[in-house]
Amino acid sequence: MSKLFLGLDSSTQSLSAIVIDYDSRKVVYEHSLNFDQALPHYKTQNGVLPNADPLVKHSPPLMWAEALDLLFARMKKEGVRLGDVRAVSGSGQQHGSVYFNTRAAGALTKLNAQKSLVENLRGVFSRATSPIWMDSSTSRECGEIRRRLGGIRKTAQLTGSDAFERFTGPQIRKFYKTDRAAYEKTASIALVSSFMASLLAGKIAPIDHGDGAGMNLMDIRKKAWLPEALAATAPKLRAKLPPLADSWQVIGPVSSYFVKKYGLNPVARALVWSGDNPCSIVGLGIVREGMTGISLGTSDTFFGPMARCRTDGRGEGHVFCSPTGDYMTLICFKNGSLAREKIRNTYGMDWNEFNQALADTPPGNHGGILLPWCESEIVPRVNVPGLHRENLGAGEPSANCRAVVEAQMLAMRLHSQWMKVETRRIYATGGASANSAILQVMADVMGCPVVRIQVSKSAALGAALMAAYGWLAEEGEKPDWERVVSVFTAPMAKSEIKPNKKATRVYEKMLKAYAEFERATLRRIAKVKSIATA
Ligand code: XUL
């Protein structure tokens, strides 16, 4: 019997599945189900319920459960060998929370295969909808929690991140403040990941350390619930939280619901799930300190493992636990493709002309710097959008194209220094990673080689690999992360882009000038703002 492992990914807009055959080292099945299209009766837009308040973003947990039934039904119909699946794990959009009442635990253990999951789950929620990561309605609660914990630096030091609107703790606090009766009726709070794992395991699942770190509730070093954070959030919270667990921990056999209904093997193991970012680093094969992932999308994200826990004193970057047992960072720069496209469009160029502009200008841009904060920026925190130039005129098209890319790469280098990790190889992914001219600037600024990796569904693949790891560990095989992931990720690493040593020396000097200009600009913005509000 082949060793198949199933990885699921419950994301904002869809539920995806990947099945891997561990011995033949192949992905044997891939499928995605879009919530809006497959389940239109929930009336979501891009997976989110419409709301009059633009800051409020909720989704219905029953939609995620119904999607799970639908996806299993499709896999069965399409002849996926579900009986050969040894273990199932999954990935969930981070931070979103599900609120169970006292009936939930009993209902989960007695899931009836004659009924649908939706029918089985009727009456088990103390809150009908789930706030998700796109919700930004909790600024007041963030302030309250941050103050109780001793400020930005301290909050980040204790929980891995400053208090952020989308994080679960501030969301729970808002629920407690605005609907105390429903909060009182809440017996158990789950993340999207642990909610889905609970369905598969037929019991309330633990929250894993990776996703747990995105709550502002977990002691990032001890990997345990942090009493001060719980007290700062809501009363009697400890009793409503499940235990924490390693990301690859086996919960137990899969629920008989999935055995009877879809033909899963009764000995198949249900694992703890994690968040999409922790799962993705496994799916991309980034499992050792020194490997860094950079995703170039609408926003650019920088993520990489850290063997030791360090936190960002400015509270801009996040620290989560990596499924491998190390730590990982996630630093999100909002003005990614957003800014590259804005500058390109300003000068009426297409991508070929943009790349030619990079070729026509020297590394270091003769000292020309552009801070491309076309929209408010997350790292560094900038609330007033604007373009800021030094030694650079707005009438120099080519130099401005180089300046936007150099600034983005210098900002990544500067704002990841707190990690104290030496990047030895960068794994570039996301839409703009197809552009070799941009990757060359990345290699030169970071002073290390860059490889492009194209992994579709990296979170679901990561989950399947975590299922394999957890199953092998339970079998007593002492699996090694690098070996487990290499099978699926190494062949996808295409030709390497090497740094140009001379250019790297130029950027080492330029980093100081960039940092100084950024600091001066932030000071100027703060001053203008304080005069305006005085
Ligand atoms: C991470 C974050 C998002 C979500 C949705 O902090 O908010 O990446 O995990 O993908």
Q: Is the pLDDT of residue 492 over 60?
A: no
pLDDT at 383: 87
Note the helical H segments in 58-116: 61-77, 104-109
Contact present, 417 and 446 (Cβ < 8 Å): no
Residue pLDDT, tens place only, 78-137: 999 999 999 999 999 999 999 999 999 999 999 999 999 999 999 999 999 999 999 999
DSSP state of 115: S
Ligand 1 and 274: CB distance under 6 A: no
Phi, psi of 442 (to 5 degrees): -60, -50
Best mutation site among 277, 303, 320, 329 for ligand 1 pocket (most ligand atoms within 8 Å of CB): 277
Query: So what's the pLDDT on residue 534?
Result: 66
Helix, strand, coil percentages (3-state) for the chain, rounded to 5, are: 45, 20, 35
- Hey, CA dihedral for 363, 365, 370, 371, is it positive or negative? positive
CA of 126 to the centre of ligand 1 (A): 24
CA 170/CA 105 separation, integer angstroms? 25
**In this structure, which residue's CA is closest to atom 5 in ligand 1?**
93
Q: Residue 532: its pLDDT value, please? A: 72
- Using most ligand atoms within 8 A of CB, pick from 13, 166, 279 the residue to mutate for ligand 1: 166
Cβ–ligand 1 distance for 416 under 6 Å, the answer no
Report whether pLDDT(529) > 80.
Answer: no
Q: Is pLDDT above 80 for 283? A: yes
Whole-angstrom distance, CA of residue 333 vs CA of residue 317: 10
Q: What 8-state DSSP symbol labels residue 73?
A: H
Query: Which 3 state secondary structure label does DSSP give 192?
Result: helix
Do 27 and 461 contact (CB within 8 A), yes or no?
yes
For position 490, what pLDDT does the model report? 64
466 in Cβ contact with 279 (< 8 Å) = yes
Please give the average per-residue pLDDT across 347-361, as a whole number.
97
Residue 210 has pLDDT above 90, yes or no: yes
Compare 170 and 23 and report the one with higher pLDDT: 170
The angle formed by the CA atoms of residues 301, 306 and 309, to the nearest 5 degrees, is: 110
276 lines ligand 1 (CB under 6 A): yes
Reported pTM: 0.94
The atom of ligand 1 lying closest to the CA of 214 is 6
Give the residue-averaged pLDDT of 29-44.
97
Least confident of 34-48, 238-252, 421-435: 421-435
Apex CA 195: angle with CA 190 and CA 198, to 5°?
115
Q: Residue 332 Cα, ligand 1 centroid: separation in angstroms?
A: 10
Q: Is the CB of 295 under 6 A from ligand 1?
A: no
Give the pLDDT of residue 493.
Answer: 59
